[in-house]
Amino acid sequence: MPAFENAKPTLKLGEIVSDEELIRSIRYFIAAEYEAVQMYTQLAEMTDNELAEAVLLDIAEEELVHAGEFLRLLKELSPKDWKKYEEGFEEVEEIIEKLKK
């Protein structure tokens, strides 16, 4: 499990955050969405309560939508971050191509 205790945004009501703090907060929220997916899925797998399992898995799917929303927002706020993701995509594409040969 990721441990972000010291990385949580320190947002204060009524305060305007800098662009950099906004970007860092969005990155943190993306990680929190994936952590929620993991926790809900794990608990769904551990319970024998059919209703709880179904609801947890449904919410886990919604968290993936939230992650997508935050990622799209991050792309807008920090194109530099997105460039790094694209680098990662390209590196995997290269591996996929190598494995096809």
Taking alpha carbons only, the member of 63, 66, 57 closest to residue 26 is 66
Are the C-beta atoms of 64 and 33 separated by less than 8 Å?
yes
Q: Contact region for Fe ion (CB under 5 A) — 19-27, 58-66, 75-83, 91-99?
A: 58-66
- What is the spatial distance between Cα 101 and Cα 93, in angstroms, rounded to a whole number? 13
Shortest CB 54 distance to Fe ion, Å: 18
Crossing angle of helices 79-100 and 50-77, in 10° steps, is 110
Nearer to Fe ion, 33 or 56 (CB): 33
Shortest CB 4 distance to Fe ion, Å: 15
Question: Using the rule CB under 5 A, is 66 a contact of Fe ion?
Answer: yes
Q: Which of residues 71-100 bind Fe ion (CB under 5 A)?
A: none
Are the C-beta atoms of 56 and 37 separated by less than 8 Å?
no
Shortest CB 33 distance to Fe ion, Å: 5
Q: Which of residues 16-35 bind Fe ion (CB under 5 A)?
A: 33
Question: Using the rule CB under 5 A, is 63 a contact of Fe ion?
Answer: yes
- What is the spatial distance between Cα 42 and Cα 81, in angstroms, rounded to a whole number? 30
Q: Residue numbers of the site for Fe ion (CB under 5 A)? A: 33, 63, 66
